[in-house]
Structure 1
Amino acid sequence: MTEEEITKQGDAKHSRKFWVTLGGLGVILVVSIVFVLMDVSGEEISGIVTSIAGIVGAYVIGQGYADGQAVKK
């Protein structure tokens, strides 16, 4: 990777982790609103939101680790 290809810390608008996190929050918001309008129980909504947050969190942590390993090389 060239220096331009490595996203600098603080350059969030080009960060995959930023966009995945933002997308995950958007999905959580939409899912919550839709399921509330469909009268789905709060417990079920909580489980779905927790699952989405877990997947997004795992991705962000994994990419952070991969980015850290790439910088070491």
Structure 2
Amino acid sequence: MIRAHIAEDHLGREVRVFILNELKSRTDILRSSGDQFFVWEELDDRGVTVQPSFTLPPLAARALLDGLTKHFRGASDVHQL
């Protein structure tokens, strides 16, 4: 199952996004391959600190949340109350 985990640094300067694919035998994390493609990388399960899939400033993270919400649920003016 693919899940997104979100963490904010203690000063509130960045939002770290971890996109994980939790499989039966292992967990993979989505990484940018540097050439505008994304690849799944197997996580080492030995307690090492994991770098996020990507990092955004808080305002950009809120804009992404708004855009994804509109994409998957429609614009706020078409929601039922």
- TM-score when scaled to structure 2? 0.28
Q: Name the structure where helix makes up a greater proportion of residues.
A: 1
Normalized per residue, the structure richer in strand is 2
Structure scoring higher RCO (CA < 8 A, sep ≥ 6) equals: 1
